[in-house]
Structure 1
Amino acid sequence: MKSALYGGILALQFLTRLPLPIACPWTPATRRWAVRAYPLVGLLLGGMLALAAQLMHGAPAPLAALALLSLWVALSGGLHLDGMMDLADALGSNQPMARRWEIMKDPQVGSFGMLALFFLLAWKGVMLWALLHYGAPLWWLVAIPALARFGGAALLVLTPCAQQKGMAWSWQQSLVPRDVALALVPLGVMSIGWPGVLAALVAACLLVALARWVLLRLFHGINGDMVGATIEGGELWLMILMWSWWWFAMASPPGT
């Protein structure tokens, strides 16, 4: 029980910037429970975003969308955005694999990373605006961060690391496929009350499978930056799908 508690705290410390000044033991058991808790952390973040959206009900959609996007970035501390920028710089360089790895390790952000950051935040902001404007139910805002973090956990557990060093590799030594199955439990419970979560989960799994194939092909494995990039990409992918579903299935007038 202690390992599960410490694992949950470890996941919160690693995935968010919520102030939790608690020293957690770094053991195989706590690492396993931390990865299992990834979706729970996403649910917490999503719940805070949904609460903020509810409090801003009636505010102009552009202002509410910008406020929610700012809160979203602040809660995660931009951790996954950094990984996404590093990966974009490496992919945009069009260099051999060894050079791509060097670019990913460079602490400076290049032009491809800045472009990726700009377009990712722009698209997320516009999707938030559209979903709020058309009155989509707020369960999507709770579910998306959880589903994206499940995708990151699945990629970490099921894809070999390219190098035997780094944070991702040290975590991976303690993980087994069973941890992915346990991470699914809170999402399965959510799908009982919100059937749309199940369809979104399938979409998230498809994205993870595609990301795994691409990263193995281009890098022969993953690292922590790629897990973070998958979380960011997963959030945007699910927001686009949610807006598409709401627009075409729900927002169209009856009989059209």
Structure 2
Amino acid sequence: MKGFFRSLAAIFQFFTIMPLGRNIEFDEYTRRFYLIPLVGYFVGCLCAFASMLFPTPELSAAACVAVFMVIYGFNHFDGLLDLGDGLMAHGSREKRIKALTDQNIGAGGVAAGILVILLTYSGLLSVSYIPAAIIAAEVTAKYSQVLFLTFGKPIREGIFSYTHSYAKKWFPFASLVICLPILLLPITPAGFAAIAVALIISFSGLFILSNRLFGGINGDVTGASNEITRLFVIIALAVVC
């Protein structure tokens, strides 16, 4: 049980800026990364609470975006920007990977960031109940990262490849069980079906695209998957509910 809580603390230290005392060994995170959706519950609930503090949908949606950006330390957003550069790069696979992993941000990254933020904000304005939508979206987004960490083929050695080396085939199933409490949210059956479809489309689309263009997955793609899956879920709920 002590190892479980150490792993949970390590996961929160890795994914958020929450002050949790002394740094825990990275291996504690990798051994149980199927717990990642618990971070989604935490961040989603913070966003939901922030959204209820404001009287208008516009301010509520903006508060959600601000909270998840800050709590994640803009790390997933940084991955999205890097992915945008990689997707817009021309030439060989090597050039695309260089653009993906480069420290500098180009026009492709800026455009990707702007589009995702605008669409996320607009989607939140269109859902029937922002608190439920943002919690469901955050948990689902975190589950997509578990899928990438489990099934992704690393492009090169690094944090992603090291974490992937600890993956077990049962991780996605354990992680899915952790996600099941979102079924208690005030979302219609059609809404839950839309969430499942959005997850499948966002994961499979990005997975196939990354393997085709980059030859595999890295931490930037995994981080970007959080932003993209969240967006897809919110848009799906806005359309269906």
Distance 1:111 1:167, change over 3 A: same
Write out per-residue CA displacement over residues 42-64 of structure 1, whole angstroms, 9 at most, x where no aligned residue.
011111111112222xx122222
Distance 1:6 1:201, change over 3 A: farther
Q: Are positions 1:155 and 2:153 aligned together?
A: no
Structure 2 distance, partners of 1:173, 1:219, is 19
Structure 2 distance, partners of 1:146, 1:171, is 20
Write out per-residue CA displacement over residues 43-94 of structure 1, whole angstroms, 9 at most, x where no aligned residue.
11111111112222xx122222222211121111110111111111111012
Normalising by structure 1, report the TM-score.
0.87
Q: Are positions 1:84 and 2:84 aligned together?
A: no
Normalising by structure 2, report the TM-score.
0.92
Write out per-residue CA displacement over residues 164-221 of structure 1, whole angstroms, 9 at most, x where no aligned residue.
x111001111111211111111212332565544541343133212221221111111
Match of 2:209 among 202, 214, 219: 214
Q: Assess if the C-alpha contact under 8 Å between 1:4 and 1:30 holds in 2.
A: no
Please list every run of 5 or more consecutive structure 1 residues that lacks an aligned counterpart in the other structure.
Answer: 247-256
Q: Which has the larger radius of gyration?
A: 1
Q: Which residue of 1 aligns with 2:117?
A: 121
The DSSP-based 3-state class of the residue aligned with 1:19 is coil
Match of 1:41 among 39, 45, 48: 39
Structure 1 distance, partners of 2:109, 2:29, is 33
Q: Which amino acid aligns with 1:90?
A: G
CA-based RMSD of the aligned residues comes to 1.8
Q: Which residue of 2 aligns with 1:71?
A: 67
Q: Which residue of 2 aligns with 1:251?
A: none
Q: Which amino acid aligns with 1:31?
A: T
Distance 1:136 1:209, change over 3 A: same
Q: Assess if the C-alpha contact under 8 Å between 1:140 and 1:242 holds in 2.
A: yes
Structure 1 distance, partners of 2:71, 2:109, is 21
Q: Are positions 1:21 and 2:21 aligned together?
A: yes
Q: Which moved more, 1:219-228 or 1:15-24?
A: 15-24
Q: Which residue of 2 aligns with 1:200?
A: 195
Write out per-residue CA displacement over residues 1-39 of structure 1, whole angstroms, 9 at most, x where no aligned residue.
222111111111111111222321333x64131x11111
The DSSP-based 3-state class of the residue aligned with 2:52 is helix
Q: Which residue of 2 aligns with 1:141?
A: 134
Q: Which amino acid aligns with 2:105?
A: V
Q: Assess if the C-alpha contact under 8 Å between 1:190 and 1:197 holds in 2.
A: no
> Shift of the alpha carbon at 1:144?
0.7
Q: Which residue of 2 aligns with 1:93?
A: 89
Give the share of equivalent positions with the same residue, in percent.
24
